[in-house]
Amino acid sequence: MSEAGFTGELWRSIEGIYAAILDHPFIRGLTDGSLPRDRFRHYVVQDALYLRDYARALSLAGVRSPDEGALVMFDEHAVGAIKVERSLHESFFRDFGITEEEVRRTPMAPTNLAYTSYLLRVASLGDYHEVLGAVLPCYWIYAEVGRALLERGSPDELYARWIDTYGGEEFNELVRAVLELTDRACAGLNPDQRAAATEAFVTTSRYEWMFWNMGWTLEGWPV
Ligand SMILES: Cc1ncc(C[n+]2csc(CCO)c2C)c(N)n1
């Protein structure tokens, strides 16, 4: 999506991770219809929990941003994460018979807790460019995966609906805005700062792979 600028450099640093995501049985199962429903259900419940913390991380990114444009954008996206994802989940929740009570009672799986704890730590204590690096894979990987899945299509109506949400042009525009902001904000960074932002970006990209793997393995707490 973006080859020049700092974000182009960031994407090149996760090419291997992105290839592993597209090749993951959870992702492959969405398009060939072989993904067992209980694994998707596990993912959807965990994602509802994830989004509540991710929205908070975006709000923190807004608070930490040096200009009003970024503040407005991240706050809008925080609200959007709650609203859009709620309605998306509401439709899947109905199909699966998941109640709000069940979501509240379900503990975050280890990977989900690690991912959201890391996001909130960086958003609270990291430098602004690290915050940008940490929140970006959530947008960007989903847009790229959504586009790739849209090309593959799905014989399963439920999975096709999920794919449409992230493969659509509306979501793409959101991602483009964040990429442009990141390129502008990171243009003057020194090598150490670039390395720190890249490390945060690679870390949450790994967590994105792990999140799908959590769904695939029905990951829970071993004791
Ligand atoms: C684990 C996980 N990672 C990314 C997304 C996608 N996503 C959630 S909120 C948001 C930005 C604002 O709407 C995006 C792109 C997800 N659902 N779950």
Cβ 210 vs Cβ 26: under 8 Å:
no
ipTM: 0.95
pLDDT of res. 92: 84
Q: Ligand 1 pocket test: which of 1, 54, 75 has the largest number of ligand atoms within 8 Å of its C-beta?
A: 54
Cβ 76 vs Cβ 187: under 8 Å:
no
Q: Is the CB of 64 under 6 A from ligand 1?
A: no
Print pLDDT tens along the chain (223 aa).
556 799 999 999 999 999 999 999 999 999 999 999 999 999 999 999 999 999 999 999 999 999 999 999 999 999 999 987 677 677 888 888 888 899 899 999 999 999 999 999 999 999 999 999 999 999 999 999 999 999 998 999 999 988 887 777 888 888 999 999 999 999 999 999 999 999 999 999 999 999 999 999 999 999 9
Q: Is the CB of 178 under 6 A from ligand 1?
A: no
Kindly name the residue from 85, 138, 144, 186 that is annotated as catalytic: 138
User: What is the Cα–Cα distance from 99 to 95, expressed in whole angstroms?
Assistant: 11
Asked whether residue 125 is domain-assigned, the answer is: yes
Going 150 to 152 to 156 to 159, the CA torsion angle's sign is: negative
Asked whether residue 57 is domain-assigned, the answer is: yes
Q: How many domains does the chain have?
A: 1
Q: Is the CB of 183 under 6 A from ligand 1?
A: no
Asked whether residue 222 is domain-assigned, the answer is: no
137 Cβ contact list (under 8 Å, min separation 6): 14, 201, 204, 205, 207, 208
186 catalytic per annotation: no
Q: Is the CB of 140 under 6 A from ligand 1?
A: no
pLDDT of res. 87: 77
Asked whether residue 221 is domain-assigned, the answer is: no
Asked whether residue 142 is domain-assigned, the answer is: yes
Asked whether residue 39 is domain-assigned, the answer is: yes
**Which pTM value belongs to this model?**
0.95
What's the 136 CA to ligand 1 centre distance in angstroms? 10
Tokens standing for residue 69: 């444009």
pLDDT of res. 2: 52
DSSP letters along 31-46, please? HHS-S-HHHHHHHHHH
Indicate which CATH number applies to the domain containing 189.
Answer: 1.20.910.10
Asked whether residue 117 is domain-assigned, the answer is: yes
Structural domain containing residue 194 = 5-216
Q: Ligand 1 pocket test: which of 142, 170, 214 has the largest number of ligand atoms within 8 Å of its C-beta?
A: 142
